[in-house]
């Protein structure tokens, strides 16, 4: 006889088995849908909807079915029935693929000469968004319809900017000309805006509709930008006018980027000829002094110290300290640190360097106290402080608590479901956009659970970014994941470098985004420029398919670790210099080496001229230590990677800091 408790237990077990079976079936269907989507997407993008037919039954219930339909309509937009497009937009209008299709459809209506239909879409979805291309197309439609109530105000607003406008605005500006609404004053106003925006090509174009005086001014500004020294040498030919003073102040500013001391000499000469205002003089002297510091000139400290109070700020204070550190002027460095505003002084960077300068000035007890206080910080300066005190790093890993009910609810949000699927089918950038939009709607507590969900999916970039957005920094497994571990370890070994270093580079470069492209054009996990990727592929005999190779995670790791190893060899196994070279290029790093002797690597890093590269090197060194601890359980101290930096000509020769 079966007892009641036994029956209840049996029923519970049966329910669990059924739930497990349903989940497994759902997962199997989802994998089938993903595979089908990947298989047909390229065909649909090329206009071949027939490729979908064998998979339609599976795909129609897939969250990315609207994306396939949008791709199909975009591919055949010239021939598609407008009613079919309108029906799709009515059904899916709030989704991102529908918004993209609507934009393409609106432009297609213009191409077809259906301006009133375009105007209807524009007024409903785009008016007031300040999109010059679409605004000008709407004005074209209104002009064609004889609706002139906006032409004067809106078209003149579009005209009166200091940059080149969208080419769609040309017809609108022609209409202004025909109506004699583009007066000489309007041209002069835009000319001045172009000069202020340093758009000298546009200024030269506008000057053609003015007179020789404006043409000459535009040419002079063009010379000030491209040949500033040649222009300044002719300063005696210019009267002391407001325009001349602006022109020559800008020319000196341009010279300062490459030769700040020459710029300083020119400025002194020009100041004897032109009556620059105090504001103009102080602004230029600040610019020159900062570039003298960035160019590691010993004179920079004097130049920064004598700046007028009105132009001294945190940035001039930072570079004054760095220049004193560079030239080992410890007492002056300490004084400059203590002159910083309280908010700046409390940053870990200056807390650390205050302690170091105190050490150098034999104030050991107070230096040790300050360093001890800093060792609790997890980061570059906290780790350096721990190194100096022989203390452990602040590597406490505090895993975030998973709330199953919140995670389950988040996993059902349509926008997050779509984001997840876009990630899984390789459309990561589109998925990031949808994920980030959903995160803006969540509380910090919900964001934390969403990050844990992303981590479960293997979507590390969103997990890392989202916990940071929520203000949580102590779950090191989420923040420092180890994806593609076998590939990183194997390829790093082949390249003769540490895999933890390669991980630090990849996290700093891309947050492990396979498809990300930088503004400079670098692509993939380890952010390689196409030319660098192509050369590296040739060197290791890897088949090269352009962007497809760089966005393939395994290929990118092979190429990135090879190039990093190449920089390591070029700079004689100096990881600091190789890291900087990976970010800024080896030629720049060689130009930043000391002219003679050796330099403490910590001070060299502080004096990297580029803010981005300076932060990058510190971040990679920090990340490498954390990744090494994550991978081995062992502590690798940052200081062990900071040999003295040798002079230019020795190409980063390693010298023991002992």
Is there a domain that residue 80 lies in?
Answer: no
Q: Are 545 and 559 in contact (CB under 8 A)?
A: no
- In this structure, what token pair is assigned to residue 36? 């089908």
The pLDDT of residue 415 is 96
pTM: 0.90
Is there a domain that residue 212 lies in?
Answer: no
Is there a domain that residue 628 lies in?
Answer: yes
The closest of 455, 458, 454 to 438, measured between CA atoms, is 454
Burial 524-557 (b: 16+ CB within 10 A, else e): bbbbbbeebbbbbbeeeebebeeeebbbbbebbb
The closest of 487, 527, 645 to 578, measured between CA atoms, is 645
Is there a domain that residue 205 lies in?
Answer: no
Residues 499 and 570 in one domain: yes
Q: What are the CA-CA distances from residue 49 to residues 42, 103, 430 (Å)? A: 10, 21, 22
Task: Indicate which CATH number applies to the domain containing 422.
Answer: 1.10.1240.20
Q: Which of 424, 441, 473 is the last residue of a domain?
A: 473
Residues 461 and 572 in one domain: no
Residues 454 and 496 in one domain: no
Residues 446 and 532 in one domain: no
Residues 467 and 564 in one domain: no
Residues 513 and 602 in one domain: yes
Is there a domain that residue 568 lies in?
Answer: yes
SS (H, E, C) 406-434: HHHHHHCCHHHHHHHHHHHCCCHHHHHHH
pLDDT < 70 stretches in the chain: 1-23, 650-658
Q: Which of 451, 473, 495 is the last residue of a domain?
A: 473
Q: How far is it, in rounded angstroms, from Cα 152 to Cα 536?
A: 56
Residue 180 DSSP SS3:
coil
H-helix segments, 1-64: 4-45, 56-59
Residues 505 and 618 in one domain: yes
Q: Whose structure tokens read 């909807």? A: 49
User: What pairs with residue 28 in β-bridges?
Assistant: none
Is there a domain that residue 337 lies in?
Answer: no
DSSP-assigned letter for residue 49: G
Q: How far is it, in rounded angstroms, from Cα 42 to Cα 600?
A: 54
Residues 551 and 444 in one domain: no
The pLDDT of residue 650 is 58
**E strands, 461-505, in order:** none
The strand order across the sheet containing 598-599 reads 598-599, 644-646, 654-655
- DSSP sequence for 309-333: GGG--HHHHHHHHHHHHHTT-HHHH
The pLDDT of residue 619 is 98
State the total domains in the chain: 2
Identify the domain containing residue 536 by its residue range: 485-655
Is there a domain that residue 209 lies in?
Answer: no
Burial 464-473 (b: 16+ CB within 10 A, else e): bbbbebbebe
Q: How far is it, in rounded angstroms, from Cα 273 to Cα 269?
A: 7
Residues 411 and 520 in one domain: no
Q: Are 92 and 103 in contact (CB under 8 A)?
A: no
Task: Indicate which CATH number applies to the domain containing 498.
Answer: 1.10.530.10
Residues 491 and 456 in one domain: no
Is there a domain that residue 217 lies in?
Answer: no
Residues 495 and 633 in one domain: yes
Q: Which of 419, 438, 473 is the last residue of a domain?
A: 473
Q: What are the CA-CA distances from residue 3 to residues 9, 11, 12, 13 (Å)? A: 10, 12, 14, 15
Residues 507 and 590 in one domain: yes
The string of pLDDT tens digits covering residues 572-622 is 999 999 999 999 999 999 999 999 999 999 999 999 999 999 999 999 999
């Amino acid at each position: 006889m079966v007892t009641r408790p036994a029956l209840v237990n049996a029923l519970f077990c049966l329910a669990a088995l059924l739930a497990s079976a349903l989940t497994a079936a759902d997962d199997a269907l989802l994998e089938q849908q993903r595979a089908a989507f990947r298989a047909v997407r390229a065909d649909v993008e090329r206009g071949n909807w027939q490729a979908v037919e064998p998979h339609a039954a599976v795909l129609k219930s897939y969250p990315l079915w609207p994306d396939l339909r949008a791709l199909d309509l975009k591919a055949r937009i010239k021939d598609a029935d407008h009613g079919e497009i309108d029906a799709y937009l009515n059904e899916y209008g709030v989704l991102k693929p529908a918004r993209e299709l609507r934009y393409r459809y609106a432009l297609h209506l213009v191409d077809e000469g259906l301006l009133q239909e375009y105007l209807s879409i524009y007024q409903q979805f785009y008016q007031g968004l300040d999109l010059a291309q679409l605004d000008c197309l709407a004005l074209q439609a209104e002009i064609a319809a004889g609706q002139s109530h906006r032409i004067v105000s809106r078209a003149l607003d579009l005209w009166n900017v200091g940059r080149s406008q969208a080419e769609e605005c040309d017809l609108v500006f022609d209409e202004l000309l025909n109506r004699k609404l583009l007066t000489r004053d309007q041209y002069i106003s835009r000319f001045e805006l172009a000069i202020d925006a340093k758009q000298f090509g546009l200024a030269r174009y506008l000057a053609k509709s003015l007179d020789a005086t404006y043409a000459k001014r535009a040419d002079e500004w063009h010379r000030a930008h491209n040949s500033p020294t040649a222009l300044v040498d002719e300063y005696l030919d210019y009267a002391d006018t407001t325009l001349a003073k602006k022109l020559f102040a800008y020319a000196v500013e341009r010279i300062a980027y490459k030769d700040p001391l020459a710029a300083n000499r020119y400025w002194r000469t020009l100041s004897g000829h032109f009556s620059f205002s105090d504001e103009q003089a102080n602004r230029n002297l600040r610019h020159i002094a900062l570039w003298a510091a960035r160019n590691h000139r010993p004179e920079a400290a004097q130049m920064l110290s004598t700046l007028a109070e009105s132009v001294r700020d945190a940035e001039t204070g930072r570079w004054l300290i760095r220049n004193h550190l560079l030239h080992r002027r410890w007492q002056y460095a300490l004084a400059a640190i203590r002159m910083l505003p309280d908010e700046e002084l409390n940053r870990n960077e200056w807390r650390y360097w205050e302690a170091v300068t105190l050490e150098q000035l034999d104030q050991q007890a107070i230096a040790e106290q300050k360093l001890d206080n800093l060792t609790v910080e997890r980061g570059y300066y906290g780790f350096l402080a721990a190194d100096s005190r022989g203390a452990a790093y602040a590597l406490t890993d505090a895993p975030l608590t998973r709330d199953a009910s919140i995670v389950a609810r988040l996993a059902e949000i349509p926008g997050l479901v779509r984001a997840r699927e876009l990630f899984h089918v390789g459309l990561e950038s589109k998925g990031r956009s949808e994920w980030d939009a959903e995160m803006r709607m969540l509380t910090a507590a919900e964001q934390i659970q969403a990050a844990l969900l992303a981590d479960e999916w293997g979507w590390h970039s969103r997990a890392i970014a989202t916990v940071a957005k929520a203000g949580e920094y102590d779950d090191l497994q989420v923040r420092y994941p180890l994806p593609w571990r076998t590939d990183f370890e194997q390829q790093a070994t082949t390249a003769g470098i540490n895999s933890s270093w390669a991980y630090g580079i990849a996290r700093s470069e891309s947050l492990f985004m396979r498809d990300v492209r930088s503004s400079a054009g670098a692509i993939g996990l380890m952010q390689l420029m196409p030319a660098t990727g192509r050369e590296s592929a040739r060197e290791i005999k890897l088949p090269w398919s352009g962007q497809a190779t760089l966005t393939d995670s395994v290929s990118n790791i092979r190429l990135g670790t090879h190039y990093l190893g190449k920089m390591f060899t070029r700079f004689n196994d100096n990881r600091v210099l190789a890291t900087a070279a990976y970010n800024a290029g080896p030629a720049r790093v060689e130009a930043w080496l000391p002219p003679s002797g050796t330099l403490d690597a910590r001070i060299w890093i502080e004096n990297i001229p580029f803010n981005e590269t300076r932060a990058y090197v510190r971040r990679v060194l920090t990340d490498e230590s954390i990744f090494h601890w994550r991978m081995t359980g062992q502590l690798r101290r940052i200081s062990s990677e900071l040999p003295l930096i040798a002079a230019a000509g020795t190409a980063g020769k390693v010298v023991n800091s002992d």
